[in-house]
Amino acid sequence: MQVAPQRQASGEPFAAAIARRMLSQGASAAGRDVPEAELESLRTRAAGLAPGISLSRASVTQGLAHQQIMAATSIENLWAGDADMQLIARETSAKAIGGLQSTADGDGDGEDDAEGDASRPRG
Amino acid sequence: MPKATQAGRAGDQSMIPLFQISVKPGLREPPVQLICQSLTVDGEMLLWVDGVNAQDPVVIPLSAVSSTKLLTDFETFMDAHKSIARRVLLAGAGEISPTIAARAVSAMAADPRLDATDALELVNGQALDLLDADAQSAAYFWGAAGPVSFAAVAGAA
Tell me the percentage of chain B whose pLDDT exceeds 90.
43
Angle at A21 between CA B140 and CA A27, to 5 degrees: 50
Q: Is A6 inside any structural domain? A: no
CA proximity to B35, closest of B112, B92, B87, B108: B108
Q: Is the domain of A101 the same as that of A61? A: yes
Residue B150 has a pLDDT of 32
Instruction: Assess whether A65 and A112 both reside in one domain.
Output: yes
Integer CA distances (angstroms), B3 to A50, A52, B24, B69, B96, in order: 16, 21, 20, 8, 28
What's the rounded mean pLDDT across residues B32-61? 87
* One domain, residues A68 and A51: no
Comparison of pLDDT for B149 and A46, the residue scoring more: A46
* Average pLDDT, rounded, for chain B: 80
pLDDT greater at residue B45 or residue B88? B88
Is A3 domain-assigned? Answer: no
State whether residue B14 sits within 8 Å of chain A by CB.
Answer: yes
**Does the distance separating the beta carbons of A14 and B60 come in below 8 Å?**
yes
**Cross-chain Cβ contact B156/A51 below 8 Å:** yes
Q: Which one of A21, A40, A55 terminates a domain?
A: A55
B83 touches chain A (CB under 8 A): no
Residue A122: what pLDDT?
30
Kindly give, in sequence order, each residue whose CB lies less than 8 Å from that of residue B73, ignoring residues fewer than 6 positions away: B15, B16, B17, B18
Instruction: Tell whether A29 and A74 lie within a shared domain.
Output: no
* A46 shares a domain with A36: yes
Pairing status of strand B59-61 against strand A12-13:
unpaired
B55/B41 Cα distance (integer angstroms): 15
Within this chain, do residues A45 and A63 fall inside the same structural domain, yes or no? no
Note the pLDDT of residue B52: 93
pLDDT tens-digit map of B59-93: 888 877 777 889 999 999 999 999 999 999 999 99
B90-99 burial: b if 16+ Cβ within 10 Å, else e:
ebbebebbbb
Number of A/B CB contacts below 8 angstroms equals: 202
Range of the domain at A26: 11-55
Lowest mean pLDDT among A21-25, A34-38, A88-92, B141-145: B141-145
Instruction: Mark which of A55, A71, A88 sits at the end of a domain.
Output: A55
Span A65-118, pLDDT tens digits: 999 999 999 999 999 999 999 999 999 999 998 877 776 665 444 444 444 333
Q: Is B151 on the interface with A (CB under 8 A)?
A: yes
A5: in domain? no
User: Chain A residue closest to B23 (CA)?
Assistant: A25
Q: Indicate if A74 and A96 belong to the same structural domain.
A: yes
The pLDDT of residue B144? 43
What confidence tens digit (pLDDT) does each residue in B121-135 have? 999 998 888 777 666
d(CA A70, CA A72): 5
- Shared-domain flag, residues A51 and A64: no
Instruction: Count how many domains chain A has.
Output: 2
B2 touches chain A (CB under 8 A): no
Question: How confident is the model at residue B1, as a pLDDT?
Answer: 56
Residue A37 domain-assigned? Answer: yes
Residue partners of B112: CB distance under 8 A and separation at least 6: none
Q: Cβ contacts of residue B153 below 8 Å, gap of 6+?
A: A43, A46, A47
Q: What are the CA-CA distances from residue A41 to residues A27, A110, B1, B72 (Å)? A: 11, 42, 30, 35
Interface test mutation site (partner B, options A3, A14, A20, max chain B beta carbons within 10 A): A20
Same-domain status, A29 and A46: yes
Residues A62, A44: one domain?
no
Q: Note whether A64 and A22 are same-domain residues.
A: no
Domain end, chosen from A20, A40, A55, is at A55
Would you say the ipTM is above 0.85? no
Asked if the C-beta of A110 comes within 8 angstroms of chain B's C-beta atoms, the answer is no
The CA-CA-CA angle for residues A68, B15, A98, to 5°, reads 15
Q: Which residues of A touch B74 (CB under 8 A)?
A: 70-71, 74
A27: in domain: yes
Judged by a CB distance cut-off of 8 A, whether residue A64 touches chain B is: yes
> What percent of the residues of chain B are helix, what percent strand, and what percent coil, each to the nearest 5?
50, 20, 30
CA-nearest residue to A84 within chain B is: B90
Contact at CB, B94 and A95, closer than 8 angstroms: yes
**Which is it for strands A12-13 and A54-55: parallel, antiparallel or unpaired?**
antiparallel
Handedness of CA B129, B131, B133, B136 (dihedral sign): negative
Which among A28, A70, A84 is the nearest to B27, CB-wise?
Answer: A28
User: B46: which strand partners?
Assistant: B39, B61
Q: Is residue A4 part of a domain?
A: no
Lowest mean pLDDT, pick from A7-21, A54-68, B6-20? A7-21
State whether A49 and A83 are in the same domain: no
pLDDT digits (tens, 9 = 90+) for B93-104: 999 999 999 999
CB contact under 8 A, A71 and B136: no
